[in-house]
């Protein structure tokens, strides 16, 4: 088997000699699957990163040194790694990634520190990725909150008090549901007159 000497850093996309990838290599899960091939730790890493380019998220020593990437802590991550082909391999390093928001279709950056927080702080499974940009995420969360408030207010049918009816109208207003807003404002008015 020919021994590989170089691999491409997924962060800076530059070809790196094995002497320039020493920091992440320490985190590479060199387990039974690799030992069976009787290769050294470094050789296994070079082979795996050359053959399965998207399998590992790692970075070269230069990227780690200049701050474009930060080291991961696989022990803190939620991943299942059983074979070299496993798609849920741990993150050896984090660097900014660009995604397209499913709601507003804008490009957004999933920063390295956000990733670290997601995968090591919140312990999200390693293959999860954000589908919305920060703005839309806030909006979606806000909508969810409004929906919960609304269903609480409406759980026994239309509310009986003016205050609650006005609250429902206010929530519909915030949601942009003008017709519903008008309807509940009218109900509140009616109730006020009836007092």
Structure token digits, residue 82: 């059983």
Residues 17/68, Cβ–Cβ less than 8 Å: no
Q: Which residues contact 147 (CB under 8 A, 6 or more apart)?
A: none
x/- binding map, residues 20-59, to Zn ion, per CB under 5 A?
----------------------------------------
What residues numbered 133-192 form the site for Zn ion, per CB under 5 A?
133, 136
> Please, which residues bridge with residue 110 across strands?
97
- Of 22 and 80, nearer to Zn ion (C-beta) is 22
- Of 12 and 153, nearer to Zn ion (C-beta) is 12
Read off φ and ψ for residue 7, nearest 5 degrees.
Answer: -150, 165
With contacts defined by CB under 5 A, name the span among 37-45, 50-58, 127-135, 165-173 that binds Zn ion: 127-135
Minimum CB–partner distance for residue 165 and Zn ion (Å)? 33
- Of 83 and 103, nearer to Zn ion (C-beta) is 103
With contacts defined by CB under 5 A, name the span among 46-54, 86-94, 100-108, 174-182 that binds Zn ion: 100-108
Residues 8/16, Cβ–Cβ less than 8 Å: yes
Q: Taking the alpha carbons of 118, 121, 124, 126 in that order, is the dihedral positive or negative?
A: positive
Cα 130 to Cα 138: distance, rounded to the nearest angstrom: 12
> Is residue 101 a contact point for Zn ion (CB under 5 A)?
yes
Place of tokens 């109208």: 169
> Is residue 64 a contact point for Zn ion (CB under 5 A)?
no
Based on its alpha-carbon atoms, the radius of gyration of the chain, rounded to whole angstroms, reads 26
- Of 25 and 133, nearer to Zn ion (C-beta) is 133
> Is residue 92 a contact point for Zn ion (CB under 5 A)?
no
> Is residue 93 a contact point for Zn ion (CB under 5 A)?
no
Instruction: Give contact residues for Zn ion (rule: CB under 5 A).
Output: 9, 11-12, 60, 63, 101, 103-104, 133, 136
């Amino acid at each position: 088997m020919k021994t590989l000497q170089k691999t491409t850093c997924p962060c800076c996309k530059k070809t790196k000699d094995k002497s320039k990838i020493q920091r992440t290599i320490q985190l590479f899960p060199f387990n039974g699957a690799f030992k069976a091939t009787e290769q050294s730790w470094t050789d296994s890493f070079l082979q795996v990163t050359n053959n399965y380019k998207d399998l590992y998220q790692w970075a070269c020593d230069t990227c780690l040194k200049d701050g474009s990437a930060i080291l991961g802590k696989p022990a803190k991550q939620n991943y299942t790694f059983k074979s070299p082909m496993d798609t849920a391999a741990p993150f050896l390093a984090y660097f900014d990634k660009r995604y397209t928001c499913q709601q507003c279709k804008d490009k957004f950056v999933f920063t390295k520190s956000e990733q670290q927080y997601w995968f090591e702080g919140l312990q999200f499974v390693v293959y999860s990725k954000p589908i919305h940009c920060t703005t839309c995420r806030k909006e979606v969360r806000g909508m969810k909150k409004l929906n919960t408030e609304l269903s609480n207010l409406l759980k026994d049918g239309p509310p009986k008090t003016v205050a609650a009816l006005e609250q429902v109208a206010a929530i519909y207003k915030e949601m942009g549901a003008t017709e519903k807003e008008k309807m509940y404002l009218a109900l509140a008015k009616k109730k006020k007159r009836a007092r």
